[in-house]
């Protein structure tokens, strides 16, 4: 991390993961115990696999189900497709 960079600067650029990896690499040789405390802010979380919800369009739900090889009736309603998960 560059000298003078703040955590807020790093978060605003979406580089939080690389920031913590750099911290771990820099601290590892010091053999010190470190604690990282994060709140529940959305910037501290990342969903790896979004699942369809009722707000999704039917074609997007269909694509998601197809990509995850989940079977569903071709004539299924949107609500039925959501239950196929």
| Cα distance between the two ends of the chain | 41
CA distance 53 to 79: 9
pLDDT at 3: 47
CA distance 75 to 85: 16
Q: 61: which DSSP letter?
A: H
- pLDDT tens profile 24-48: 666 555 556 667 676 777 666 666 7
Q: 56 versus 21: which is more confidently predicted?
A: 56
Q: 20 versus 10: which is more confidently predicted?
A: 20
- The pLDDT confidence band at residue 84, using thresholds 50, 70 and 90, is confident
Longest dimension (CA), the chain: 61
CA distance 46 to 48: 6
- pLDDT tens profile 51-83: 899 999 999 999 999 999 999 998 999 999 999
């Amino acid at each position: 991390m560059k000298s003078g960079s703040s955590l807020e600067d790093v978060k605003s650029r979406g580089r939080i993961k690389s920031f913590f990896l750099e911290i771990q690499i820099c601290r590892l040789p010091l053999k010190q115990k470190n604690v990282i405390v994060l709140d529940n802010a959305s910037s501290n979380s990342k969903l790896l696999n979004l699942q369809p919800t009722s707000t999704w369009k039917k074609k997007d739900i269909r694509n998601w189900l197809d990509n995850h090889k989940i079977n569903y009736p071709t004539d299924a309603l949107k609500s039925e497709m959501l239950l196929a998960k």
